[in-house]
Structure 1
Amino acid sequence: MEAVGENPYESRADISEASTKEVSVYGTNNDVADFFDEVDEIKKIVRRYDQNIDTIESLHKQALSEISGEQETYTREQIGSLANETSALSQSLKDRIKSLQSRSTRDSTKKTQAENLKRQFMNAIQRYQTVEATFRQKYREQAERQFRIVRPEATDAEVKAAIEDVQGEQIFSQALRTSNRRGEAQTALSEVQTRHREIQKIEQTMAELAQLFHDMELLVAEQEAPVQHVEKHTEQVQVDVEQGMGHTSKAVVFARAARKKKWWCLLICLIIIILAVCIPVGIWASNNNKKD
């Protein structure tokens, strides 16, 4: 006996085909779910990246106002540790966004999500660059003030040499020997040396950020190239189809014209045949009538 609700006419092949379709649908859904899970994870990392920038900015402000040497040293260590962590995050973000873009070239919704994440990350990079540039200038200004404690009459070129140039420490040491306030001068030297190191670290970070931003721009170009190739290929296919349709239309027109010509030729042939038959018959009938 057949089970209640069972279709006795449903073949095993139909059941197998339905099962295959179901697996295919679930596979597609899983791919979409994995994609958007990755989007959520990248968003979390971008938020953490932004939070690190906020913390680095706060620590820079704190370092500029520290009085105790121990506190300042601890703050600088925090800045260095957080900068290293942020650098690692940036590399992870670059790789994951690149992977995400490669998975979204044929889906407009996915492509929009990937582009939004890329734009958010590049905005964060630019904000980090702005923060570092701002505090590089502030560290420089503070170092200049410290140097002028020892050399109030120093020219701008001498101040710049003391803060940036390779021979800066030597210039500062010479200033120490000629200064009447050696205690203040020694403190100033320590401050300038510290700020010099901070400026160097900031400049290194800014160089890395510039390279990172450049890499993201190249990443966009790399992803656009295959898309443009696909679009160009699609446009060419469309042109070929339109040309093919044009040729087909012309062929139809030519075929119709040929058929019309054929019918006209057939009609002319019939008229000629009719005339060829009717004229002799008419002449023969006319001759007989004359004899009668």
Structure 2
Amino acid sequence: MSEVNQNNGYAQQQTGAGGPTAILNKCKEINNGIQELRAKRESQLAAAQNALLDSSTGKEDQATRQTLDYIEDEINRTFRYLRDLLQKVKNTPGSGDARVQTQIDVTQKNLQREIQQYQKTQSDFQKRLREQVRRRYEIANPEASPEQIEQGVENVLLGQEQAFQVTGSRTRQANDARAAVLERSGAIRKIERDMIELSRLYQEVAELVQQQEPAVEQINQGAQDVVQNVDNATKHIDNAIISARNARRWKWYALIIILIIIGIVVGVAVGVTEANRGGK
């Protein structure tokens, strides 16, 4: 990942402060790395795989295996680096911001998609290698039954080199076939180990999204709680205002009633006084 490595220091300087710009810069770095992986898978890896499939001597097998192993290891290291970088993006403050969330999701899906494509490429190559192992085993053991061939191939693929028997008069051809089988079975076992790591890496990338979702849901829930609290507070204020208005209204009613009662009392008192005077 030459370009990504060259720009790594610069990217770190640009992304150190955090915020939307830093997050988008990291996403761009990840997507650039994914593009480099795709180009390497479609060119260098494909060429190395074809070279091993087409090699016909033990020397060629060893040379092509070394080249293939180097390319595969480089691709695996790059996947791990991009996974770690995506995790940093997820942990960057502001990663739940709507302005960057879409780009983060796209970047995560791009990485998962490239992992899947690489897995498919390796799986197809593994099948072709197994077919070559079977043919080479049949060449070295022309008199073996189908069951013996099947068992012998499986044993060789498990790393049991002694299972590859060289029989018959075609010793040189059988030895060449044996050398080819051992190189290809070694390549197959390496692919199987890499596939286990890739599956784990793919799951880790997927879990980064699952880890982000609860945080986003918590933010959304918090926002909903704030809205609900504001609504409740508004209702309480409205009720308090209504209660205050009602209280003032009842005070006026009470005052009017008191005045009326006072007026009645005064009127009765005046009437009684006047009556007493008239009687005298």
TM-score (normalised: structure 1): 0.78
Corresponding letter in the other structure for 2:135: R
Give the aligned partner of residue 114 of structure 1.
104
| Alignment equivalent of 2:215, drawn from 211, 226, 232 | 226
Distance verdict in 2 for CA 1:232–1:31, change over 3 Å: closer
**Whose relative contact order is higher, 1 or 2, with alpha carbons under 8 Å and at least 6 apart?**
2
Match of 1:158 in 2: 151
- Provide the residue aligned with 2:49 in structure 1: 60
Q: Give yes or no for contact 2:57–2:176 (8 Å, CA) kept in 1.
A: no
- State the one-letter code of the partner of 1:83: E
Question: What residue ranges of structure 2 are gaps of 5+ in the alignment?
Answer: 1-16
Distance 2:173 2:155 in 1: 16
What's the offset of the Cα at 1:118?
Answer: 1.2
* Maintained 8 Å contact 1:140/1:163: no
The answer on whether the counterparts of 1:146 and 1:192 sit within 8 Å (CA) in structure 2 is: yes
* Within-5 A mapping of 1:57-136: 57-103=46-92, 104-136=94-126
Aligned to 2:14: none
Q: 2:247 & 2:19 partners in 1: Cα distance?
A: 56
Query: How much does 1:224 deviate?
Result: 2.9
User: Does the alignment pair 1:45 with 2:33?
Assistant: yes
Give 1:153's aligned amino acid.
S
Aligned-pair CA distance for 1:234 = 2.8
2:254 maps to a residue whose letter is C
- Tell me the equivalent position of 1:235: 224
Question: 1:105/1:44 Cα in 2 relative to 1: closer, same or farther (>3 Å)?
Answer: closer
Q: Please report how far the alpha carbon of residue 202 of structure 1 lies from its aligned counterpart in structure 2 after TM superposition.
A: 0.8
For 1:264 and 1:31, locate their aligned partners in 2 and report how far apart those are by CA, in whole Å: 62
Displacement of 1:136 in angstroms is 0.9
Change (3 A) 1:33 1:165: closer
> In 2, distance between residues paired with 1:161 and 1:77?
23
In the alignment, is the contact (CA less than 8 A) between 1:35 and 1:100 conserved in 2?
A: yes
Q: Which amino acid aligns with 1:51?
A: A
How far did residue 33 of structure 1 move? 4.2
Alignment equivalent of 1:198, drawn from 187, 197, 200: 187
Conservation of the 8 A alpha-carbon contact between 1:105 and 1:227? no
* Inter-partner Cα distance in structure 2 for 1:172 and 1:105: 56
Alignment check: 8 A CA contact 1:101 1:111 kept: no
Separation in structure 1 between the aligned mates of residue 84 and residue 46 of structure 2, nearest angstrom: 26
- Cα deviations by residue, 1:9-40 (Å, 9 ceiling, x for unpaired): xxxxxxxxxxxxxxxxxxxx995544433333
TM-score by length of 2: 0.81
Matched residues in 2 for 1:120 and 1:225: separation?
22
What residue is the counterpart of 2:9 in the other structure?
Answer: none
- Code of the aligned partner of 1:170: Q
- Structure 1: segments with no counterpart, 5+ residues: 1-28
Say whether the 8 Å CA contact 2:90–2:208 is kept in structure 1.
no
What are the superposed Cα offsets for residues 223-253 of structure 1, whole Å, 9 maximum, x if unpaired?
3333333333333333332222222222222
